[in-house]
Amino acid sequence: DAEITQSPRHKITETGRQVTLACHQTWNHNNMFWYRQDLGHGLRLIHYSYGVHDTNKGEVSDGYSVSRSNTEDLPLTLESAASSQTSVYFCASSVQRINTEAFFGQGTRLTVV
């Protein structure tokens, strides 16, 4: 069965370190998204990609970057981790950009100390 997987599921890192969260999907979807989830804020879009070599900033993109070198993967990099980036991060993919189901990974809980 097709799926979307995130790794690691949990990570603790120190302030100032670079961190990369992996996202891999086997749906062959062109559209991939990274969200962060914090209490009271629902899901906020960090970055998104509509295809290979395409990346776009979402509403909370400062301090984050993504790259899309193939269809399956959209890694999220925190250039210099800050305590404000402690959150649960979700990756998602979809067939269309909107109006269709977004399939989510199980999330990565990141703690910056």
Partner 1 sequence: TQLLEQSPQFLSIQEGENLTVYCNSSSVFSSLQWYRQEPGEGPVLLVTVVTGGEVKKLKRLTFQFGDARKDSSLHITAAQPGDTGLYLCAGGRNAGNMLTFGGGTRLMVKP
Q: List residues near partner 1 by CB under 8 A.
A: 33, 35, 40-45, 48, 50, 58, 90, 92, 97-102, 104-107
CA distance 91 to 4: 8
Taking the CB of residue 69, how many other CB atoms lie within 10 A of it?
Answer: 10
Report the nearest approach of partner 1 to the CB of residue 54 (Å): 12
Shortest reach from residue 64's CB to partner 1, in Å: 16
Residue 13 near residue 86 (C-beta atoms within 8 A): no
- Residue 37 contacts residue 87 (beta carbons within 8 Å): yes
Closest to partner 1 by CB, 31 vs 85, is: 31
Number of CB atoms found within 10 A of residue 30's CB: 17
Q: Which is nearer to partner 1, 17 or 97 (CB)?
A: 97
Compute the least distance from the CB of residue 25 to partner 1, in Å.
12
Min dist CB 95 to partner 1, Å, is 12
Closest to partner 1 by CB, 4 or 19: 4
Residues 6 or more apart whose Cβ sits within 8 Å of residue 1: none
